Amino acid sequence: MENKLVVSSSPHLHCGVNTREIMLDVLIALSPAAAASALLFGWRAAAVIIVCVASCMASEYISRIVLKKPQTVGDLSAVVTGVLLAFNLPATIPLWQAAIGGVVAIVVVKQMFGGIGHNFVNPALIGRIVLMASFPEDMNRWAAPLQGSLVVDGLTSATPLESLEQGGELAYSYQQLLVGIRPGCLGETCIIALLLGGLYLVVRRVISPLIPAVFVGTVFILTWLLGENPLVHILSGGLMLGAVFMATDYATSPINPAGKAVFAAGCGLLTVLIRVYGSLPEGVSFAIVIMNVLVPLIERATRPLPFGEERRLPKWLKR
């Protein structure tokens, strides 16, 4: 009897889901958008995705060996980071630059801070931002979709948000925006594929729909209030990709529903501020990264009350 009573700390029950399975679900959810990007932008899109994934996996593998830590490349989180990074790059980007983005994402943002679960911001987004700051010309050359294999030296044109920023007319119909027939980053254009993936993740209970819903809703309401076309703002840029796949990253988003709502609303607010008032046409990546950094504060402010305790209000709120 004595030996059967084991005293240990919680959790005592495990549902059996592990990191690898969750990451596999995310990869399945990403596959429609990946297929759409290959259809829209040709073999070049597939090449960018493969290079990013390979660079991320190699970075993860090598840095775990150099750091003398248990190998984690098998949990597939590096693959997810690689795919997300590729989704945030234009199809015309030189492949060695895409590889640098993968190294920055995994080595600098993830492994230097302790590996999976310890990254303080989304690795793929920092990879994109570093590339944007390093190679602004290559990162802003948008290939027009559906040119077959001519992407690299073919037609280039402004993204919908860029033409709006310059005060131009929107040259794309809502149907085109939904299907993704517009210039833009690899994975962000096909809204239907992204929504399909998001639906899968929600059904599989990998993510809660709260963050994407509040994020997109905030952008919709704010752009509508500011007199912009809210539908265009929702259907263009990286909003759907960011809301479904980037802002929902476990390590860099709050745990509680209240915290999630605050976080997502902040993402939406910053996105609209950058898009409407900022000098950049698109601000989803910066909005998410800034809110990532604020997550510890949001968690502190939204800590749930233990049963039977009274909420301690700050002095200036008490009367």
Judged by the rule CB under 8 A, the positions of this chain that interact with other proteins are 100, 108, 130, 133-136
What is the closest distance, in whole angstroms, from the C-beta atom of residue 213 to other proteins in the complex?
A: 33
Q: Nearer Cβ to other proteins, position 80 or 129?
A: 129
Q: How far is the CB of 155 from other proteins (least distance, A)?
A: 25
Residue 126 or 161: which CB sits closer to other proteins? 126
> Least CB distance from residue 279 to other proteins, whole Å?
16
Name the minimum Å distance from CB 282 to other proteins: 19
CA–CA gap between residue 234 and residue 230 (Å, rounded) = 6
Of 246, 268, 240, the closest CA to residue 178 belongs to: 240
- Look up tokens 């749930």; give the residue: 304
Amino acid found at 315: K
Whole-number Å distance between alpha carbons of 199 and 212: 11
Q: Which is nearer to other proteins, 23 or 89 (CB)?
A: 89
Output the smallest distance, CB 94 to other proteins, in A: 9
- Quote the least distance from Cβ 110 to other proteins, whole Å: 15
**Residue 57 structure tokens:** 């996996």
Pick from 255, 318, 263, 316: which is nearest to 289 by CA? Answer: 263
Number of helices (H), then strands (E), in the chain: 14, 0
Query: Min. distance of Cβ 272 from other proteins in angstroms?
Result: 25
Nearer to other proteins, 103 or 181 (CB): 103
Whichever of 206 and 289 has its CB closer to other proteins, that residue is: 289
Q: Letter for the amino acid at 158?
A: A
Q: CB nearer to other proteins: give 101 or 242.
A: 101
Between residues 18 and 134, which has the closer beta carbon with respect to other proteins? Answer: 134
**Angle at CA of residue 160, ends 97 and 139, nearest 5°:** 10
Residue closer to other proteins, measured from CB, 94 or 117: 94
Shortest Å distance, C-beta 138 to other proteins: 10
Cα 125 from Cα 281, distance rounded (Å): 17
Q: Which of 191, 195, 161 is nearest to 282 (CA)?
A: 161
Task: In whole angstroms, give the CA distance from residue 213 to residue 201.
Answer: 14
Nearest to 22 by CA among 204, 246, 203, 198: 204
Token code pair at residue 104: 């920055």
Measured from the CB of residue 289, what is the shortest distance to other proteins in angstroms?
12
Distance, in Å, from the CA atom of 118 to the CA atom of 116, rounded to the nearest integer, reads: 6
User: Given the complex with other proteins, which of 50 and 103 has the nearer CB atom?
Assistant: 103
Q: Using omega within 30 degrees of 0 as the cis cutoff, is the peptide bond preceding 32 cis?
A: no
The Cα–Cα gap between 98 and 221 comes to 35
